[in-house]
Amino acid sequence: MMGEQSVMQEELFYGFSLERHVPADHLLRAIDRFVDLSAIRQHLAPFYSPIGRPSIDPELLIRMLIVGYCFGIRSERRLCEEVHLNLA
């Protein structure tokens, strides 16, 4: 059944918090304090089709490009691997 859950069921699932696993002094935390991408979806919405496969989240894509730039990753494939392996 789909719908809003009124009772929390954390004990049934594995809990994972990114906040607890990424160190407070990590470079990407410092960048995140200054980069506000909250309006990016609205700004880019006219360029996305309402039909077809779902796209990559534009905010995620911009964040990935920032990570690639900061860590000197030039390959898209390597960037995807690094993002997948590095939770930060």
Q: Domain ranges in the chain? A: 23-87
4-8, 21-25, 63-67: which is most confident = 63-67
pLDDT tens, residue by residue, 30-40? 888 888 888 88
pLDDT over 70 (residue 5): no
Q: Average pLDDT in the 42-48 region?
A: 87
Quote the pLDDT of residue 12. 62
> Could you tell me which of 54, 13, 20 has the C-alpha nearest to residue 5?
13
Q: Average pLDDT in the 59-74 region?
A: 89
